[in-house]
Chain A
């Protein structure tokens, strides 16, 4: 491979990344990303502050696009999303702590997923873990019989599968959560009355 080939590859990858980043300048896509990552916050926090958070975030993104273009908004979105992920940790921790100290908190914690979704999630975790165990056993048995590993770097394979399963589980959980809670992306004056939210009664009363 010559230096020129490497240059072509770098240029091609750069162009693809540049084109792929284009949707980030669109408010719809920025909103979608925010919608996914806001699921990291506890439901009560989302219900109370989701509308305001998205207003600030979208205005900031718009400003970044106007001032710095595509790279500015990429930087803004990445920074905001990374910050949200970090900020959500203590809030989630407090939610779990509250769940063990009050009946209201317990109901909120349990309502994050419906009973059928909880069963599905547990089944997926069991299937995933069993699958990993089976793959690890096959690799170990083959290795002991043939005195050579059937795959290069078996530990990396297991780690890769674990990461893939975890990623799929997190994505599934996020998709399910988004489907359950669309209200935060409406304007505050369009929010439904508290009684309309049958899955999580009482959230609408927090003011």
Chain B
């Protein structure tokens, strides 16, 4: 109990991008491994390798950010046999912290000098 009160999601940052992608992909829904892979590709355009995805899923379950859950009733018979993942309360806190940090970074990117540099890098100006 004492450990839980001391735990701070900000201490977990920075997290690897794949972990953040997984936490975002699982926002508000339960998905199986391949479903997460497809969602990441859809959200970010990044294709994650099977081994990388699975390694991170195992790590996140160990850390208590994700948990296994029963497949949804709407899943077809093939998907019923797959392992589904759900974000835990701890995982949600880490995701929110990571997204807040990212949001802050985006705010910094709007600083006059920096935004000019970004536009220059993008070839806009």
Interface flags, A69-93, vs B, CB<8A=1, else 0: 0000000000110011011000000
Q: Assess whether B63 is interfacial by the CB under 8 Å rule.
A: no
Complex interface: stretch among B45-53, B86-94, B101-109, B113-121: B45-53
Work out how many contacts link A and B, with CB atoms closer than 8 A. 44
Q: Assess whether B111 is interfacial by the CB under 8 Å rule.
A: no
Expressed in whole angstroms, the minimum distance between the Cβ of A44 and any Cβ of chain B is 12
With a 10 A CB-CB cut-off, give which of B32, B37, B52, B54 has the most chain A CB atoms: B54
Q: Assess whether B34 is interfacial by the CB under 8 Å rule.
A: yes
Interface flags, B48-79, vs A, CB<8A=1, else 0: 01111111001000000000000000000000
Cβ contacts under 8 Å, A86 to chain B: 51
- Known A-B contacts A52-B82, A188-B81; A84 and B33 likewise in contact (beta carbons under 8 Å): no
Q: Is the CB of A87 within 8 A of B81?
A: no
Q: Assess whether A187 is interfacial by the CB under 8 Å rule.
A: yes
From the candidates A53, A187, A188, A189, name the one contacting B50 in the complex (CB within 8 A): A53
Q: Is the CB of B54 within 8 A of A49?
A: yes
- Known A-B contacts A80-B51, A83-B52; A52 and B33 likewise in contact (beta carbons under 8 Å): yes
Complex interface: stretch among A1-9, A12-20, A55-63: A55-63
- Known A-B contacts A49-B58, A189-B81; A87 and B52 likewise in contact (beta carbons under 8 Å): yes
Q: Is the CB of B53 within 8 A of A56?
A: yes
CA distance A84 to B50 in the complex (A): 8
CA distance A52 to B34 in the complex (A): 9
> Using a CB–CB distance below 8 Å, which chain B residues touch chain A?
32-34, 37-38, 49-55, 58, 81-83
